[in-house]
Amino acid sequence: MISCAVKKKGDSMSHTELIERYLKGCEVLTDAVSNVNPVFLDKVPAPGKWTIREYLVHTFDAEIVSSARLRAMVAQPGANLMGFDQERWAAALHYEKQPVEDALAAFRGLRRMTANMLQAMNAEAWNNKGIHPKRGEMSVLTLVEGLAGHCENHSRTIRELRQRFSAATV
Q: Is residue 150 part of a domain?
A: yes
- 78-101: pLDDT as tens digits: 999 999 999 999 999 999 999 999
Give the confidence band of 170 by pLDDT, cuts at 50, 70, 90. Answer: low
Provide the Cα torsion 20, 29, 152, 24; round to 10°.
-10
Nearest to 57 by CA among 95, 23, 30: 95
Q: Is residue 6 part of a domain?
A: no
- In whole angstroms, give the CA distance from residue 151 to residue 2: 13
Q: Domain containing 74 — which CATH number?
A: 1.20.120.450
Provide the Cα torsion 162, 166, 169, 170; round to 10°.
-170
Q: Is residue 5 part of a domain?
A: no
Q: Is residue 2 part of a domain?
A: no
Q: Is residue 159 part of a domain?
A: yes
Domain that holds residue 97: 15-168
User: Amino acid letter at 92?
Assistant: A
- In whole angstroms, give the CA distance from residue 44 to residue 54: 10
**Kind and range of the H or E run holding 120:** helix 100-120
Domain count, the chain: 1
Give residue 39's pLDDT: 94
- 28-84: pLDDT as tens digits: 999 999 999 999 999 999 999 999 999 999 999 999 999 999 999 999 999 999 999
Contact 105, 152 (CB under 8 A): no
> pTM (2 decimals)?
0.90
Q: Interhelix angle for 100-120 vs 15-33, to 10°?
A: 170
Q: Is residue 8 part of a domain?
A: no
Q: Is residue 7 part of a domain?
A: no
